Amino acid sequence: MLIDTYGRVATDLRVSLTDKCNLRCTYCMPEEGLQWLSKTELLSDDEIVRLIRIAVTDLGITEVRFTGGEPLLRPGLVSIVEQCAALEPRPRMSLTTNGIGLKRTAAALRAAGLDRVNVSLDTLRPDVFKTLTRRDRHQDVLDGLEAARDAGLTPVKVNSVLMPGLNDDEAPELLAWAVAHDYELRFIEQMPLDAQHGWKRDGMITAGDILASLRTRFTLTAEGEDERGSAPAERWTVDGGPHRVGVIASVTRPFCRACDRTRLTADGQIRTCLFAREETDLRGALRSTAPDEEIARIWKLAMWGKKAGSGLDDPSFLQPDRPMSAIGG
């Protein structure tokens, strides 16, 4: 069991498969990209599967989320999913993606055992998409979403970040579109994870702003805390249901007290929080032929030291030095 000193138990593992991405979103990385990890720094497919096996069979992990960078850029992704689906007990598995490669991979991922996907899409306007991502791939994302839904990777969740002066007026339009296509929309407050250090607290679109905008067009009914559990998103039913919309308010409404996540970076480090400055190395133990029991012990010790909160409620908070692409969302 992965338990910390505050009594929180981690059952949800986020696994970054690569630091690379085929978009250059303005809130994530600079236009020229980053200095990527070398192949020797990255965990191999076998190392990833071994760590997930230890997490599931020895440490009580029941949910695995594959992230990046962009996880669809990982050549061995389908095989990794297939091997993890064969574990006993079998974890539920999901994938967070920009959606560009989903049209060609959704069916194979579903056949391998993936349960569902989260797709990032911040706008319905192709010109705004190109400005936000610095790439002209809007239609590819729409096609990927449709392919994921048709393949049965449901519920398909769409993650949207609203940026001042670009797409901050799109919340109602995005929700109407999501309802029409049977996607579950979740707005995410912009977080201080950009490598170029451009995030400003006083300029972000807050959960309150998003909800006020949505209520100009929809009736929203809050779900109870019991239904939310440890999920990061607060959720509301839309116009009486059955569709729902969520808001992940990491900055203005931190949910650290219910956190059940542990994170494995693309280069084999354990992070107890997305915003943690400290990491615990598992790659070294893996490559020194440490037994599973020793790796589990290191992981447990890392989680025992998890802090009470993310620190985002501190106005002086500065983003970590490590870019989000290496950590995983």
CA proximity to 247, closest of 319, 161, 173, 314:
161
Report whether pLDDT(194) > 90: no
Q: Which two tokens stand for residue 256?
A: 């650290």
DSSP string, 183-233: -EEEEE---S--TT----GGGSPPHHHHHHHHTTT--EEEPPHHHHTT-S-
pLDDT tens-digit map of 213-260: 999 999 999 987 767 667 788 999 999 999 999 999 878 777 788 899
- pTM here is 0.89
Q: Which two tokens stand for residue 37?
A: 């990890």
Average pLDDT of the chain is 88
In contact, 265 and 325? CB cutoff 8 Å: no
**SS3 category, 269:** strand
pLDDT tens-digit map of 283-318: 999 999 899 999 999 999 999 999 887 655 555 544
The residue-averaged pLDDT of 39-48 equals 96
In contact, 248 and 187? CB cutoff 8 Å: yes
Q: Which two tokens stand for residue 108?
A: 């194979």
Those residues with Cβ within 8 angstroms of residue 42's Cβ, 6 or more apart along the chain or in another chain: 18, 19, 266, 267
**Count of beta carbons in the 10 Å neighbourhood of residue 216:** 8
* Length of the chain in terms of residues written: 329
Beta strand pairing call for 12-16 and 261-264: parallel
Report the distance separating Cα 173 and Cα 158, nearest Å: 13
More confident position, 23 or 323: 23
196: confidence class by pLDDT, cuts 50, 70, 90 = very low
176: confidence class by pLDDT, cuts 50, 70, 90 = very high
Counting other chains too, the contacts that 233-242 makes at CB distance below 8 Å and 24 or more residues apart are 233/186, 234/207, 236/211, 238/175, 238/179
pLDDT tens-digit map of 55-91: 999 999 999 999 998 999 999 999 999 999 999 999 9
